[in-house]
């Protein structure tokens, strides 16, 4: 069966520090991968999605970036965090070329920028 | 363009009462529809999905939803609420056409279950 791992679960970082969140998927190949952010009391905001290694689509201009160095690995990064980057970050995957495939989510990372 | 509207950001029911969470969508092509549940500080878990075929879809934890094309709705129901159903619920839609990999999300409905 497929599993998705996301870490760390919680993170407190000062303003201006770098960020690296990692997500890996097991049990499937060539998944579509997604990074979402969920701010308090708001819905889900799609940040990035990827359909293959090195292929990243950015949905929202910001100081965050994403990379996919391996087929089942998706990394969210920032060189300098802002207070507004605080939120709950969710990684998800779906089956490639299966358009009724749901998204499967990791357990999320709670990021607090102080 | 597609959109999803969840009517009522907060819904409160008594334990044992009917749960009804409303979702209306807008799509120019036949949609795929999804309901997810999110417990505090956790990721989203798929409750059920509609793709094609039977319009009444049964999901996990006793939930079901009915796709009504004429009303562009996909409301989520459960006959009898449990305390453990207290969570945030999200409706989402994806176009059943083209190479669209993205879901369009509603803003969510927070369900409270009172003893």
Nearest-Å Rg of the Cα atoms of chain A is 13
Q: Rounded to 5 degrees, what are φ and ψ at A112?
A: -120, 120
Q: For residue B100, what pLDDT is reported?
A: 61
Residue listed under structure tokens 């049990």: A27
Q: For residue A88, what pLDDT is reported?
A: 95
* B17-59 pLDDT, tens digit each: 999 999 999 987 778 999 999 998 899 999 999 988 888 999 9
Q: For residue B102, what pLDDT is reported?
A: 80
Written as one string, the DSSP assignment of A10-68 is EEEE-TT--EEEEEEEES-SS-EEEEEEE-TTS-EEEEEEEEETTEEEE-S-SSEEEEE
Chain B residue numbers touching A46 (CB-CB < 8 A): 102
Q: How many CB atoms lie within 10 A of CB B42?
A: 16
Q: Which residues pair with A88 in a beta bridge?
A: A38, A110
Could you check whether the bond before residue A8 is cis, i.e. omega within 30 degrees of 0? yes
> Rounded mean pLDDT of A84-92?
95
> Rounded mean pLDDT of B78-99?
88
Q: For residue A4, what pLDDT is reported?
A: 96
Q: Which of A12-16, A19-23, A54-58 has the lowest mean pLDDT?
A: A54-58
Q: Which of A43, A88, A107 sits opposite B106 (nearest CB)?
A: A43
**A99 with B96: Cβ contact below 8 A:** yes
Q: Which of A43, A104, A110 sits opposite B41 (nearest CB)?
A: A110
The one-character DSSP state at A79 is S
CA dist B85 and A96 (Å) reads: 31
**A44 with B100: Cβ contact below 8 A:** no
Q: For residue A59, what pLDDT is reported?
A: 85
**A32 with B44: Cβ contact below 8 A:** no
Q: Are B115 and B51 in contact (CB under 8 A)?
A: no
CA dist B101 and B115 (Å) reads: 41
Q: CA nearest B19: which of B114, B111, B106, B115? A: B111
Instruction: State the pLDDT confidence band at B99, using cuts at 50, 70 and 90.
Output: low
Q: Which two tokens stand for residue B79?
A: 């006959």
The mean pLDDT value of chain B amounts to 92
B32 vs chain A: nearest CA distance in angstroms?
6
CA dist A76 and A104 (Å) reads: 17
Q: How many CB atoms lie within 10 A of CB B69?
A: 10
Q: Which of B102, B105, B108 sits opposite A49 (nearest CB)?
A: B102
Task: Write down how long chain A is.
Answer: 114
A86 vs chain B: nearest CA distance in angstroms?
14
> Rounded mean pLDDT of B78-83?
97
């Amino acid at each position: 069966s497929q599993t998705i791992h996301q870490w760390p679960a919680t993170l407190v970082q000062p303003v201006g520090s770098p960020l690296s969140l990692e997500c890996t998927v097991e049990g499937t190949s060539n998944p579509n991968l997604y990074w979402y952010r969920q701010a308090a009391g708001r819905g889900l905001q799609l940040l990035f999605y990827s359909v293959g290694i090195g292929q990243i689509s950015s949905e929202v201009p910001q100081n965050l970036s994403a990379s996919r160095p391996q087929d089942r690995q998706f990394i969210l990064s920032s060189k300098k965090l802002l207070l507004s980057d605080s939120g709950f970050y969710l990684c998800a995957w779906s089956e490639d070329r299966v358009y009724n495939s749901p998204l499967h989510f990791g357990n999320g990372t709670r990021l607090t920028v102080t | 363009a597609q959109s999803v509207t969840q009517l009522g950001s907060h819904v409160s029911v008594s334990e044992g009462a009917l749960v009804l969470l409303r979702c209306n969508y807008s799509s120019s092509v036949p949609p795929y529809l999804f309901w997810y549940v999110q417990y505090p500080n956790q990721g989203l878990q798929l409750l059920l999905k509609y793709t094609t075929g039977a319009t009444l879809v049964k999901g996990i934890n006793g939930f079901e939803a009915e796709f009504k094309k004429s009303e562009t709705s996909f409301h989520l129901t459960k006959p009898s609420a449990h305390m453990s159903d207290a969570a945030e619920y999200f409706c989402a839609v994806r176009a059943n056409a083209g190479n669209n990999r993205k879901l369009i999300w509603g803003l969510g409905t927070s369900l409270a279950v009172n003893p």
